[in-house]
Amino acid sequence: MAERSPGIIQKAKNLIGATAKHIANRMEIATSATQEGRWIECFECEKFSKVPLTCKECGCGLVKKISWASSECPLNKW
């Protein structure tokens, strides 16, 4: 059976929480080196979805999540 991502309501909750944390962190952007390391971890992860670029664990869009300094991997990989 195919692995399922979180439902739309959980995705919305995750996005709201991540956005609030990002704003509270003065919308700081992660360094290029940090972002590169995060991408490497995500690309190697079994929860990575290429289309669209999302995490199957939390449902977050990785383009933004990886760039926000305050973001955390739901699997504690970064």
Beta strands per DSSP E along the chain: 48-49, 54-55
Report the alpha-carbon distance of residue 78 to residue 75 in Å, rounded: 8
Continuous segment of H or E residues that includes residue 22: helix 8-24
Burial state string for 50-62 with b = 16 or more CB within 10 A and e = fewer than 16 = eeebbbbbbbbeb
Assigned token pair, 35: 């972002």
Q: What is the pLDDT of residues 10-38, one digit of tens each?
A: 999 999 999 999 999 999 999 999 999 99
| 7 pLDDT more than 70 | yes
